[in-house]
Amino acid sequence: MKKWNFKRFFWATAFIVLFPMLQSCSSAKEPLITASHVWPGYEFMFLADQLGWLDHEKVTLVDTYSASESLGLIKAGEVDAAALTLDEVIRARSEGVELSIVAVFDISAGADQVISRTEFSSLSDIKGKRVGVETSALGAVVLSQVLEVAGLTREDVSIVELTIDDQEQAWLDGRVDCVITYEPVARKLLTAGGIKVFDSRSMPEMILDVLAVRKEALHKQTQIQHLTVAHFKALHHFESQREDALYRMAPRLGVEPDQVPFLYEGLLLPNPLHNQRLMNGTPSKLESVGEKIINVMLQSNLIESQVNVDNLVDPSFVSP
């Protein structure tokens, strides 16, 4: 009888010790569930899927309507990873959601613009103007940079809070003198007579789109690496087999194939080597930019307290 009790005790103890390990091993084999809305920089994941380069047992792509939906899903733990802007990653971390950046999809290099009704002799001419801007960290970052270059403060302009969907109508209604915007609205405002007075080429490597992964999912190393490799393989296809890529990508982007290249104007698409340059170092370029964005978000009351950037970046999933 005693021998039997010992056996039961042994197996019960073994189960308690090994069960978490077995669960971990099991989850490590599950696909990396990744959320993304339609945005030019994110589309190479979907192009890779079209071309049969994504193993669905390793990666599941979840199509969302907006960045807000993607952010909500990853914060709730309903997905493992999401395509987000750097400021969105910081916002999630400020709310206690530990996300790590494992790849950079694109960098704004002219895509984010300030469009004015009148020509400026210098950027300081924005003083006293009604400036339409999104109530987001991205809008706040561009506005902060514009004011810094102009030698002005927020009190020197009249801020008109607008979503990206409202910007064109506000312009047509004459409710704003300038708008901080991006494609496709920027092109519409320029066509309507607007004048570009500033763009993100003047703030290099400040506005980035990234692949962020929850801390709890970083153990899915094979799956994360599979997704990053597929992304860069599709990016190479876009650059080397342009016509085929344009026809494949046009339906999701909602334009004709010959219009697809215009969507990439003002976007840098970093290759693996450029990714490594952004993510390596102490501090890394991404961490330094993250600190600047945190300061802007604090000043704009978009976050309530300082955000720790430790483990913000994990460069191990991108091989040069």
| pLDDT for 2 | 44
> Would you place residue 175 in the very low, low, confident or very high pLDDT band (cuts 50, 70, 90)?
very high
Residues of the chain with CATH 3.40.190.10: 31-107+207-317, 112-202
Q: What pTM was computed for the model? A: 0.83
Mark out the alpha helices in the chain (DSSP H runs): 2-28, 43-50, 67-75, 86-94, 137-150, 167-172, 185-191, 221-240, 242-253, 260-263, 272-279, 285-299
Which H or E run includes 310? none
Cα(112)–Cα(199) distance, rounded to whole angstroms? 6
pLDDT of residue 9: 53
* Domain 112-202 = CATH 3.40.190.10: yes
Fold of 31-107+207-317: D-Maltodextrin-Binding Protein; domain 2 (3.40.190)
Lowest mean pLDDT among 63-77, 94-108, 263-277, 297-311: 297-311
* Structure-token pair, residue 78: 């309903």
What span, in angstroms and rounded, lies between the C-alpha atoms of 297 and 270?
26
The tokens describing 262, both together, are 């215009």
Please tell me the predicted confidence (pLDDT) of residue 187.
Answer: 83
pLDDT above 70 covers a percentage of the chain that reads 92
pLDDT of residue 22: 46
251 exposed, middle or buried (CB, 10 Å; 0-12, 13-18, 19+)? exposed
Residue whose tokens read 């708008």: 179
- Within 211-284, residue ranges assigned H as helices are 221-240, 242-253, 260-263, 272-279
Residue 34 has pLDDT above 50, yes or no: yes
Q: pLDDT-based confidence at 182, cuts 50/70/90?
A: confident
The residues pairing with 35 across neighbouring beta strands, listed in sequence order, are 62, 82
pLDDT of residue 1: 44
Closest CA to 36 of 90, 103, 93, 98: 103
